[in-house]
Amino acid sequence: MILRDLPARERPEFLRQYRAAVEAARDDVARYKDLARLLHRWSLVVIAANRPGYYEAIEAAKTGSGVPLAEAIGAELARRR
C-alpha cells in the first residue's frame, strides 16, 4: 500500500530505507520495532505527499519564503472556528 500510493519521486528512498530496515530486522529480531516505525513514518509521508501543495510547501520552507509560523497558526485557528 505504501509503495503503491507513494509519489514516484519518493519511491527510491522508501525502498532504500525499507530494504535496510528489513535486513537489520532479519539479523536482529529486536530491530523489528525499527521496521514498524519506518513503515509508520512512510505511511504518514504518503498522506502528506499526496496533499495538494506539499512539495511547494517544502520548497518554501527550504527557501524561507513560506508563511511565518504565528501567521499560519492564526489562519488555521480562524479556519477551525
Alpha-carbon span 34 to 22, nearest angstrom = 9
Joined grid coordinates for residue 22: 528489513
Residue-wise pLDDT for 52-75, tens only, equals: 999 998 898 888 887 788 998 999
The b/e string for 30-47 (b: 16+ C-beta within 10 A; e otherwise) is eeeeebeebeeebeebbe
Treating both helix axes as pointing N-terminal to C-terminal, what angle do 32-49 and 54-63 enclose, rounded to 10 degrees? 100
Residue-wise pLDDT for 17-55, tens only, equals: 999 999 999 999 999 999 999 999 999 999 999 999 999
pTM, two decimals, is 0.75
Joined grid coordinates for residue 57: 510547501
Number of domains in the chain: 1
Expressed as residue numbers, the domain containing 30 is 2-80
